[in-house]
């Protein structure tokens, strides 16, 4: 590659051309994975920031054990290939406030990032109290009252109130809790990253995009137990999210909007994504009155299957729901949603469920192939409205279940059923209750495939 091209790539992907470099070894980090390197690393970061910014290098071969590292504006962490940042596993390794429990944390930072080809590792196995193939039982740091409930564990990487965030060429491995968390960020670019969470560990979400705008994620590989890409609106809306060229496997939802959904989700594109053997494919759980609009899902291959019901998901390839979480919640609307060029093999049907005051409108499926078959032994036959709403409802499975929809356009949609091994199934299409209006079908096909000896076990 010519120097000129390298120059352009660097200027494209990093907010500043970080000419100054600071090696954590020069600041006394030992990188033996036993002694804490928190102070030397933090000194390197702070010195780099005082010098106006640059790169903090973690030399190859080291395992840098650390408590929370505070990233400063214009500092890029460069964890070299073969180097690892290891998150501490003691509560005292993290700040007092549980909202700041991250291994790497940027607060109010501009022009910050992580790269280098190496790894940041949250050592999640140290947080397992009892391993369980169904779902691990995890530690909860809730004794001091700094955090309440059973989900008190540190996240791996967090950018809060930050701008010009760049994360590329890095592996985020074994988070104890959520992996990569963006909160109230603007202008984030994430590319060429891998995220691996233990498949039996709960709450190890891949990327949570909370109250943040202008986020671009491309070329990501996410293999984890909990939701893989999860926009949430808790204190503000989420605008302009683009996720392309990704591969995902999860025991929960591959893509999920919500369930924290107090504000709007608008203008998202999900394109060229493979979702492999996940518990749910393209999902929306709108529960708190925020509205969703202008979302495109295109060129997506999906396989969805059942896993242990301790995990959320019921093998729906597409799961769009909006209902008030509880009697005090408002309803959110979902409108202008396009699914184009989607192929799915799944153990359950498509679920499109609005509610009385939260109508789904202008939903279009174009060039969609869905093959229904069963290959696990988990029971089916439930509509899943959780969290809140009608909870779980016993019901035969249909190819597409629809309620409270105003404007549904199916164009070139092909449904194939391996009928004899999906015994609990009833109709290809099912409209439930009232409020189903403006339906349009062009080139809609549904057929039963008989099992020819040897095709399916
Ligand atoms: C960022 O700065 C603002 C203004 O000072 C402050 O209100 C906010 O709490 C800061 N965010 C974080 C994560 O520290
Ligand atoms: C603390 O965590 C444990 C284990 O998850 C849980 O059973 C308990 O209810 C939690 N207690 C508090 C006060 O949050
Ligand atoms: C995101 O954009 C919305 C709409 O313009 C705005 O209200 C919100 O403050 C923005 N959030 C951030 C973190 O910039
Ligand atoms: C789709 O994404 C994959 C990576 O998951 C990539 O290899 C492929 O080139 C992309 N295809 C297109 C058409 O961009
Ligand atoms: C959602 O849209 C409805 C109808 O336009 C509106 O009344 C409501 O305020 C919107 N919700 C939010 C959180 O903006
Ligand atoms: C759907 O199946 C048809 C027939 O096999 C195929 O030509 C078409 O490319 C498929 N569409 C998608 C989006 O996979
Ligand atoms: C869907 O696939 C068709 C045929 O391959 C292609 O012409 C069209 O551009 C694709 N649509 C999108 C949104 O990528
Ligand atoms: C569904 O039906 C089964 C068997 O009839 C019953 O045990 C179960 O409690 C029902 N579940 C719900 C959510 O109603």
Query: CA separation (Å) from 440 to 187, 197, 344, 365, 410?
Result: 38, 42, 22, 10, 6
Closest ligand 8 atom to 391 CA: 13
Residue 434, domain member (yes or no): yes
Q: Which residues contact 9 (CB under 8 A, 6 or more apart)?
A: none
pLDDT one-digit tens code per residue, 415-456: 999 876 667 778 899 998 778 999 999 999 999 887 654 444
Per the prediction, the chain carries an average pLDDT of 94
pLDDT of residue 456: 44
Q: Which atom of ligand 4 is nearest to the CA of 274?
A: 5
Q: Which of 226, 242, 230 is closest to 307 using CA atoms?
A: 226
For the CA of 214, the closest atom of ligand 3 is 1
pLDDT of 203 above 70: yes
The answer to whether the CB of 291 is under 6 A from ligand 5 is: yes
Residues in contact with ligand 6 by the CB-under-6-Å rule are 341, 343, 367, 369, 414
Does residue 10 have a pLDDT over 60?
A: no
Number of domains in the chain: 1
Find the ligand nearest to 110 CA.
1
What ligand 3 atom has the least distance to the C-alpha of 213? 1
Instruction: Pick the ligand that lies closest to the CA of residue 140.
Output: 2
Rounded to whole angstroms, the Cα distance separating 296 from 66 reads 40
Residue 451, pLDDT score: 63
Instruction: Please report whether residue 8 resides in a domain.
Output: no
CA of 268 to the centre of ligand 7 (A): 17
In sequence order, the 6+-apart residues with CB closer than 8 A to the CB of 72 are: 45, 46, 48, 49, 106, 109, 112
Return the pLDDT at 455: 47
Using a 6 Å cutoff on CB, does residue 265 contact ligand 5?
no
What is the DSSP track for 12-77?
HHSSS----EEEGGGGT---EEEEE-HHHHHHHHHHHHHTT-EEEEE-TT-EEEES-EEE-TTEEE
Q: For residue 19, what pLDDT is reported?
A: 79
- Asked if residue 13 belongs to a domain, the reply is no
User: Quick one: average pLDDT of 242-253?
Assistant: 98
The 8-class DSSP code of residue 237 comes to: -
Report which bound ligand comes closest to the CA of 266: 3
d(CA 433, CA 76): 54
Mutate to test the pocket of ligand 6, among 339, 343, 366 (most ligand atoms within 8 A of CB): 343
- In a domain? residue 61: yes
Give me the sign of the Cα torsion angle 42, 44, 47, 49. Answer: negative
- Whether the pLDDT of residue 7 is over 70: the answer is no
Exposed / middle / buried, residue 71 (Cβ in 10 Å: 0-12, 13-18, 19+): buried
Q: How far is the CA of 264 from the centre of ligand 3 (A)?
A: 10
The pLDDT of residue 5 is 46
pLDDT tens digit string along 254-273?
Answer: 999 999 999 999 999 999 99
Query: How many Å lie between the centroid of ligand 3 and the Cα of residue 186?
Result: 8
Q: Residue 2 above 60 pLDDT? A: no
Q: Tell me if 394 CB under 6 Å of ligand 8.
A: yes
- Full DSSP string of 277-307: EESEEEEEEE-SS--EEEEEEEEEEEEE---
pLDDT band at 73 (very low <50, low <70, confident <90, very high): very high
pLDDT of residue 434: 72
pLDDT at 426: 80
Does residue 128 lie within any of the structural domains?
no
Separation in Å, CA 282 to CA 103, 155, 190, 207, 278: 30, 24, 20, 15, 10
Q: Is it the case that residue 109 has pLDDT exceeding 70?
A: yes
Q: Whose CA is nearest to atom 3 of ligand 8?
A: 394
Residues in contact with ligand 4 by the CB-under-6-Å rule are: 245-247, 272
CA distance linking residue 222 with residue 205, whole number of Å: 10
pLDDT on residue 422: 67
What CATH number is associated with residue 228?
Answer: 2.160.20.10
State the ligand closest to the CA atom of 247. 4
How many angstroms is it from 246 CA to the middle of ligand 7?
18
Distance 212 CA to ligand 3 centre (A): 7
Residue 383 lies in a domain: yes
* End-to-end C-alpha distance for the chain, whole angstroms: 51
Q: What is the pLDDT of residue 425?
A: 79
> pLDDT at position 371, please?
95
In this structure, which long-range contacts are made by residues 439-445, counting pairs with CB atoms below 8 Å and at least 24 apart in sequence? 439/405, 439/408, 439/409, 440/408, 440/409, 440/410, 440/411, 441/410, 441/411, 441/413, 442/409, 442/410, 442/411, 442/412, 443/411, 443/412, 443/413, 444/410, 444/412, 444/413, 445/413, 445/414, 445/415
Is 103 a residue whose pLDDT tops 60?
yes
If you average pLDDT over residues 373-399, what whole number do you get? 94
150 lines ligand 2 (CB under 6 A): yes
- What are 120-170's pLDDT values in tens digits? 999 999 999 999 999 999 999 999 999 999 999 999 999 999 999 999 999
359 token code pair: 């109508």
Rounded mean pLDDT, 79-92: 98
Give pLDDT tens digits for 158-191: 999 999 999 999 999 999 999 999 999 999 999 9
Domain housing 115 = 22-121+153-456
- For residues 339-362, average pLDDT: 97
**pTM summary value:** 0.95
Checking if the pLDDT of 275 tops 70, the result is yes
Structure tokens at 293: 């609009």
**Ligand 2 within 6 A of CB of 453:** no
* Ligand 8 pocket residue status of 392, Cβ below 6 Å: yes
174, part of any domain: yes
Tell me, yes or no, whether 443 lies in a domain. yes
d(CA 43, CA 250): 38
């Amino acid at each position: 590659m010519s120097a000129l091209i390298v120059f352009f790539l660097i200027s494209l992907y990093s907010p500043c051309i970080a000419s100054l470099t600071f090696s954590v070894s020069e600041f006394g980090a030992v990188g033996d994975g036993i002694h804490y390197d928190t102070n030397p690393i933090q000194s390197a970061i702070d010195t780099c920031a005082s010098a106006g910014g640059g790169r903090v290098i973690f030399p190859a071969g080291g395992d840098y054990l650390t408590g929370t590292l505070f990233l400063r504006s214009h500092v890029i962490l460069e964890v070299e290939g073969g180097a690892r940042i290891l998150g501490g596993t003691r509560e005292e390794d993290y700040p007092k406030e549980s909202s700041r429990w991250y291994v790497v944390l940027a607060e109010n930072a501009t022009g910050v990032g992580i790269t280098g080809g190496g790894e940041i590792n949250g050592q999640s196995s140290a947080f397992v109290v009892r391993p369980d193939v169904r779902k691990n039982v995890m530690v909860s740091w809730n004794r001091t009252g700094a955090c309440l409930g059973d989900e008190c564990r540190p996240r791996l990487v967090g950018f809060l109130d930050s701008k010009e965030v760049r994360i590329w060429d890095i592996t985020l491995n074994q988070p104890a809790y959520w992996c990569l968390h963006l909160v109230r960020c603007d202008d984030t670019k994430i590319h060429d990253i891998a995220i691996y969470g233990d498949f039996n560990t709960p709450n190890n979400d891949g990327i949570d995009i909370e109250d943040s705008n202008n986020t671009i994620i491309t070329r990501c590989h996410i293999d984890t137990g909990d939701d893989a890409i999860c926009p949430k609106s808790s204190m503000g809306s989420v605008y302009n999210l683009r996720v392309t060229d990704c591969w995902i496997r999860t025991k929960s939802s591959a893509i999920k909007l919500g369930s924290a959904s107090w504000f709007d989700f608008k203008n998202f594109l999900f394109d060229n994504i493979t979702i492999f053997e996940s518990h749910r494919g393209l999902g929306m759980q709108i529960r708190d009155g925020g509205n969703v609009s202008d979302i495109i899902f295109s060129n997506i291959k999906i396989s969805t299957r059942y896993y242990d019901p301790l995990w959320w998901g019921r093998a729906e390839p597409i799961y769009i729901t909006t209902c008030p979480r509880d009697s005090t919640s408002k309803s959110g609307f979902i409108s202008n949603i396009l699914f184009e060029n989607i192929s799915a093999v799944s153990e359950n049907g498509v679920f499109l469920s609005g509610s009385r005051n939260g109508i789904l409108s202008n939903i279009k499926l174009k060039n969609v192939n869905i093959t229904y078959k069963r290959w696990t032994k988990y029971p089916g036959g439930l509509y899943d409205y959780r969290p809140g709403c009608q909870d779980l409802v016993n019901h035969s499975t249909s190819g597409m279940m629809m309620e409270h929809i105003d404007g549904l356009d199916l164009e070139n949609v092909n449904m194939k059923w391996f009928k004899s091994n999906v015994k609990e199934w009833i109709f290809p299409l099912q409209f439930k209750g009232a409020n189903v209006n403006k339906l349009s079908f062009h080139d809609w096909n549904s057929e039963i495939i008989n099992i020819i000896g040897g095709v399916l076990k």
